[in-house]
Amino acid sequence: MVQFNLADLFEAAVDAYPEREYLIANGVRRTYAEMEARANRLAHHLSDAGVGPGDHVGIYAYNSVEWVETAWAVFKLRAIWININYRYVEEELRYLFGNADLKALVLQREFAPRVAALFDELPTLHHLVVIEDGSGEENPTTDSVLYEDAMAGGSPLRDFAPRSEEDLYILYTGGTTGMPKGVVWQHRDVFYALGGGVDPTTNTRVLDPSEMVGKGAGGVITHLPIAPLMHGATQWAVMGRSFVGDRIVLMDKFNPDDVWTLIQNEKVNSVMVTGDAMAKPLIESLSDDSGYDLSSLFAVVSSAALFSAPVKDEFFKRFPDLFITDAIGSSESGNNGMTMISKDNTAMKSGPTVSILGDTVVFDEDLIPVVPGSGVIGKIARSGDIPVGYYNDPVKTAEVFFEVEGTRYVMPGDFATIETDGSVTLLGRGSVVINSGGEKIFPEEVESAVRSHPDVFDAIVVGAPDERWGQTVAAIVALREEHSLNLAALQDYCRNKVAGYKLPRRLFVVDTIQRSPSGKPDYRWATTIVETLEPHV
């Protein structure tokens, strides 16, 4: 019997659509049946190595078929896979590996030296599986097992014990500040929050797990989520679409020309980006004489980062009939809301304005729901389908998860306001809000204005210490080739886009804006720039 268990939902799609092509990654292809057999083989290998229900298995690799095979293999055992950021340096990895209590690790050979350096410090980690990538690095331990050897030794049969919708899924999120945190979800709750269990257009819930596979009976949609699988949005683009028998295309590293080539060659219908960091270079790389056949593309979805109005306008110029969707949410709350952007309605305020989903509410500082149209700024919270808490972090769990009149909520820290029609406008994460003389300034709003300047390719905005105001607005920008910009010119440009007190007061010019692999701004890096470099005049 199929339950609201993620492995069960995938296996239902396998049984319904075994010969459908499921996954294409870096030229490697898998049908649903092929993915199933290989995931079963790896699951049996991990089981023989001592991995069982509740054990944690890390996945440390670029986007690949092996990443996805490992994910399903782990869930088949009722174990829990742990996403690992491949950009982390040794100290961050030491923290994550230790915090996550890894029992096994599937890693790409390129990362073997980092794992070898930490292995002796990790008493719970006892089994390593190495994915070949041609890098030539040595195995991290003498008893490491090669991925394809593990496959060859495991049974392809689906003969696993029954599972539960209360099995756990953990999503490690680095956010924009602080060390990574493991958000612990039960399968049923995360299915409703992120996996397609709630229809975003009608806000209705799936009542029977078998309903999901039936959604794919009418045909296949091909999706290309660009961000890394270690990022929650791409994990759910892959898992959620697999429940309905769709087709997924992955790329290991972002390159705009490669994206357009994949759209053409694989007849991609929907692309998922993480805001301007991907959308801007993507649309700007597409010249009128590029020669791509992009007739299959009908949708662009943005999640997790600011997708500004000027960039959306550029997409509509090139693709007049395109559907653009903005979504807001977090690793802790799931999908809080989304909206479809039309060609003539791309204007935005501080951030996207969306129709709310699920049991989403905006609380003021006294934990009273904000009245629509009041202009009061509050924080987004959600009840109902929410996580258990943070793994190995009771203090942070107590800060973010709380009860109001007997109802349990999660409040990750995103500021928002409610419009007169009940829609929600996202303002930004509280941990990076700039407090200038008592005025709250949300970096995302100023970033949108700065990035729309014709000389600016990318930008991050943070607070800089100021003797008079406490903090002032600092813009770190990467300019287009052979372009220049000074602070006065940037201020003049932004005056018609943001209030005067929000204007950048300091300008820092860098070669490249540093972001997380998912495209989110790296505010820790930006703060270091402000602290160590001289402002640009």
The CB-side HSE value for 40 (13 A sphere, CA atoms) comes to 17
List Cα–Cα distances, 524 to 79, 316, 508, in angstroms: 33, 34, 15
Q: Which tokens go with 310?
A: 């000027």
Segment 13-29, tens digit of pLDDT = 999 999 999 999 999 99
Query: Quick one: which of 335, 437, 346 has its CA closest to 386?
Result: 335
Q: Is the pLDDT of residue 5 over 90?
A: yes
Q: Is the pLDDT of residue 201 over 90?
A: no
Say how far apart CA 463 and CA 192 lie, in whole Å: 37
**2-6, 69-73, 416-420, 438-442: range with lowest mean pLDDT:** 438-442
What is the predicted pLDDT for the residue at 110? 98
Segment 458-500, tens digit of pLDDT = 999 999 998 878 889 999 999 999 999 999 999 999 998 888 8
What is the predicted pLDDT for the residue at 537? 72
What is the predicted pLDDT for the residue at 373? 94
> Considering the domain 433-532 in this protein, what is its CATH number?
3.30.300.30
Segment 383-395, tens digit of pLDDT = 999 999 999 999 9
What is the predicted pLDDT for the residue at 395? 93
The single-letter code of the amino acid at 373 is: G
Q: Which tokens go with 403?
A: 């009860």
Q: Which tokens go with 69?
A: 């095979």
Strand pairing class (270-273; 299-303) = parallel
Q: Considering the chain, tell me which residue range(s) the CATH 2.30.38.10 domain(s) occupy.
A: 350-429
**144-158, 169-183, 219-233: range with lowest mean pLDDT:** 169-183
What is the predicted pLDDT for the residue at 287? 83
For residues 456 and 522, the answer to whether their CB atoms sit within 8 Å is no
Q: Looking at per-residue confidence, does 433 or 264 come out higher?
A: 264
Say how far apart CA 314 and CA 24 lie, in whole Å: 28
Q: Is the pLDDT of residue 176 over 50?
A: no
- Percent of the chain residues topping a pLDDT of 90: 73
Which residue, chain included where needed, has tokens 């491949």?
86
Give the number of residues written for the chain.
Answer: 537
Find the helix or strand (DSSP H, E) in which 188 lies: helix 187-194
Cβ atoms within 10 Å of 468's Cβ, excluding its own: 7
Q: Is the pLDDT of residue 326 over 90?
A: no
Say how far apart CA 163 and CA 186 lie, in whole Å: 12
Q: Looking at per-residue confidence, does 366 or 87 come out higher?
A: 366
Q: In what order do the strands lie in the sheet with 56-60?
A: 80-83, 56-60, 102-108, 127-131, 145-146
Say how far apart CA 338 and CA 371 lie, in whole Å: 20
Residue 418 pLDDT level (bands cut at 50, 70, 90):
very high
In terms of average pLDDT, the best of 327-331, 438-442, 508-512 is 508-512
For residues 428 and 443, the answer to whether their CB atoms sit within 8 Å is yes
Q: Is the pLDDT of residue 177 over 80?
A: no
Q: What torsion do the CA atoms of 423, 429, 433, 438 make, to the nearest 10 degrees?
A: 50
Q: Is the dihedral of CA 384, 518, 96, 169 positive or negative?
A: positive
What is the predicted pLDDT for the residue at 433? 82
User: Average pLDDT of 204-209?
Assistant: 94
Beta bridge partners of 401: 410
> Considering the domain 350-429 in this protein, what is its CATH number?
2.30.38.10
User: Average pLDDT of 87-103?
Assistant: 90
Q: Considering the chain, tell me which residue range(s) the CATH 3.30.300.30 domain(s) occupy.
A: 433-532
* Average pLDDT value over all residues in the chain: 92
Cβ burial, residue 481 (10 Å; 0-12/13-18/19+): exposed
Say how far apart CA 252 and CA 250 lie, in whole Å: 7
Q: Considering the chain, tell me which residue range(s) the CATH 3.40.50.12780 domain(s) occupy.
A: 26-190
For residues 107 and 140, the answer to whether their CB atoms sit within 8 Å is yes
List Cα–Cα distances, 224 to 23, 125, 197, in angstroms: 10, 33, 21
What is the predicted pLDDT for the residue at 304? 62
What is the predicted pLDDT for the residue at 305? 67
Q: How many helices (H) and strands (E) does the chain have?
A: 16, 28
Residue 61 pLDDT level (bands cut at 50, 70, 90):
very high
Find the helix or strand (DSSP H, E) in which 74 lies: helix 65-76
Backbone φ, ψ for residue 462 (5° rounding): -140, 170
Q: Is the pLDDT of residue 4 over 60?
A: yes
User: Average pLDDT of 522-528?
Assistant: 89
Residue 362's contacts (CB-CB under 8 Å, 6 or more residues apart) are: 369, 370, 378, 379, 380, 381, 416, 417, 418, 424
Q: Which tokens go with 164?
A: 């539960």
CATH architecture of 26-190: 3-Layer(aba) Sandwich (3.40)
Say how far apart CA 337 and CA 340 lie, in whole Å: 11
User: Average pLDDT of 353-365?
Assistant: 88
Q: Which tokens go with 97?
A: 């590996």
List Cα–Cα distances, 338 to 356, 359, 369, in angstroms: 7, 14, 20
Long-range Cβ contacts of 461-464 (<8 Å, 24+ apart):
461/434, 461/504, 461/526, 462/432, 462/434, 462/523, 462/526, 462/527, 462/530, 463/432, 463/434, 463/435, 463/436, 464/505, 464/506, 464/530
What is the predicted pLDDT for the residue at 350? 59
The CB-side HSE value for 19 (13 A sphere, CA atoms) comes to 0
